[in-house]
Amino acid sequence: MGFVLSIVLTLLAAVAAYSGLSVNIILVFIFIMAFVQAGIQLFMFMHVNEEDADHTQLGNFLFAAVIAVIIVIGSYWVMEMAHANHLM
């Protein structure tokens, strides 16, 4: 079930990328799909919802979420800056 949901969310993001919507709406939609897919993978494949060591899993989840947000926002920022400097 988790694998099928991941494939569906990836396809939705790909379809949105080639739609006629504005760039801002496409970016927001892709980011939302990425975070939903990450959550599904954490619960389905990484067994975050198991009751053993709840505090450890919560700490690991928060650390992973912070690192993921930094990577995503940092990557977007680097690509935006490269694109802006290329156009100058």
Q: Provide CB contacts within 8 A for 64, sequence distance 6+.
A: 42
The per-residue pLDDT for 51 is 65
- Record the pTM: 0.57
* Residue 8, pLDDT score: 92
Low-confidence ranges of the chain (pLDDT < 70): 47-54, 87-88
Q: Please give the pLDDT value at position 6.
A: 86
| pLDDT tens-digit map of 3-21 | 898 899 989 988 988 888 8
What span, in angstroms and rounded, lies between the C-alpha atoms of 25 and 39?
21
The per-residue pLDDT for 35 is 85
